[in-house]
């Protein structure tokens, strides 16, 4: 596995691969890898000649008082996992390398960023689109792989790529979960033992709400079930629980083909998000 930490080197390597007509699958991450990230690599490995993974904790998507400084980092561990999973090139630049000078140019994602996580994190998705634009230009992928756990981010990136004609296909990869249903996340290590026992209740509440939505199409009843279930988590405070059309993230209508049932819960040391996507013509449990 080749390590690259300079922007110019990454651009040169991807340019050479393009000239050789090698297909590139790209897996962007913020590191502290877990099975969810490795599932993205597995999918990329199936469809491409070369797999590039980036590890970059992006300061542009962290707001004041958020956990940028305390976000878990372990490059040596991550590199070993990436190589074992089949990554060909690991790109791990520093913030100074990615952002060598201040820029006042902003990419603003629009109304999709005003709900769910974006409602309480103004500017967060501006930072996501900023870094993903740079990473796409530097790695020149044919396909890029994103987990459905970060469903709002996925929806915004899909829309951005479509509307601005980026020459990259966005691949959705289902959420990877622990045996008890908890979505894999780099932040799970910051739960206390008691919180770790409580956290799977997030997914259970989402499952019950999703079942109601599939069976009845009644979003109000389904959302009440989700919120009632989250309220029973002793160590967690509900940040939001919503049901919206996906990927537009607008209110559901009779014409909506897909919905997202989503929630975020704040524990003492970690804020966890999770969601379930529901096909609105699927009436099975």
Q: Is 187 annotated as a binding residue?
A: yes
Give the C-alpha separation, 93 to 223, whole Å. Answer: 42
With contact defined as beta carbons under 8 Å apart, do 34 and 184 qualify?
yes
Instruction: Extract the tokens encoding 233.
Output: 């988590």
Q: Is 120 annotated as a binding residue?
A: no
Give the C-alpha separation, 68 to 86, whole Å. Answer: 28
Q: Is 269 annotated as a binding residue?
A: no
Give the C-alpha separation, 109 to 107, whole Å. Answer: 7
Q: Is 283 annotated as a binding residue?
A: no
CB within 8 Å of 59: residues ≥ 6 apart: 68, 95, 99, 127
Q: Is 185 annotated as a binding residue?
A: yes
Q: Is 197 annotated as a binding residue?
A: no
Q: Is 36 annotated as a binding residue?
A: yes
Active site residue 37: yes
Q: Which of 3, 37, 124, 137 is catalytic?
A: 37
Q: Is 96 annotated as a binding residue?
A: no
Q: Return the closest-CA partner of residue 109 out of 159, 148, 60, 144.
A: 159
Instruction: Extract the tokens encoding 4.
Output: 């690259």
Q: Is 149 annotated as a binding residue?
A: yes
Q: Return the closest-CA partner of residue 75 out of 63, 91, 88, 51.
A: 91
Q: Is 34 annotated as a binding residue?
A: yes
Provide the annotated binding site.
30-37, 61, 147-150, 153, 176, 184-187
Provide the annotated binding site for (R)-pantoate.
61, 153
Active site members: 37
Provide the annotated binding site for ATP.
30-37, 147-150, 176, 184-187
Provide the annotated binding site for beta-alanine.
61
């Amino acid at each position: 596995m080749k390590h690259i930490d300079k922007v110019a080197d990454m651009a040169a390597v991807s340019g050479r691969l393009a000239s050789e007509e090698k297909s590139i699958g790209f897996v962007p991450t913020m590191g502290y890898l877990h099975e969810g990230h490795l599932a993205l690599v597995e999918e990329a490995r199936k469809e491409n000649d070369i797999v590039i993974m980036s590890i970059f904790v992006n300061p542009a998507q962290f707001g004041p008082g958020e956990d940028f400084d305390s976000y878990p980092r372990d490059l040596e561990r991550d590199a070993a996992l990436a190589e074992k999973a089949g990554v060909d090139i690991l790109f791990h630049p520093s913030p100074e390398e990615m952002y060598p000078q201040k820029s006042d140019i902003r990419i603003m994602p629009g109304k999709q960023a005003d709900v769910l996580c974006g409602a309480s994190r103004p500017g967060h998705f501006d930072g996501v689109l900023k870094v993903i634009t740079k990473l796409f230009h530097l790695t020149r992928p044919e396909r890029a792989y994103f987990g459905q756990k970060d469903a709002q981010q996925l929806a915004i990136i899909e829309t951005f790529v479509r509307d601005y004609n980026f020459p990259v296909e966005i691949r959705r990869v289902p959420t990877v979960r622990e045996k008890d249903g908890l979505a894999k996340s780099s932040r799970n290590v910051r739960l206390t033992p008691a919180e770790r026992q409580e956290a799977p209740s997030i997914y259970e509440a989402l499952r019950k709400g999703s079942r109601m939505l599939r069976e009845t199409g009644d979003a109000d009843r389904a959302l009440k079930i989700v919120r009632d279930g989250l309220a029973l988590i002793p160590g967690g405070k509900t940040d939001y629980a919503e049901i919206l059309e996906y990927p537009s993230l607008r209110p559901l209508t009779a014409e909506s083909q897909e919905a997202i049932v989503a929630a975020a819960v704040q524990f003492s040391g970690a804020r966890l998000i999770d969601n379930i996507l529901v096909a609105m013509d699927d009436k099975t449990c």
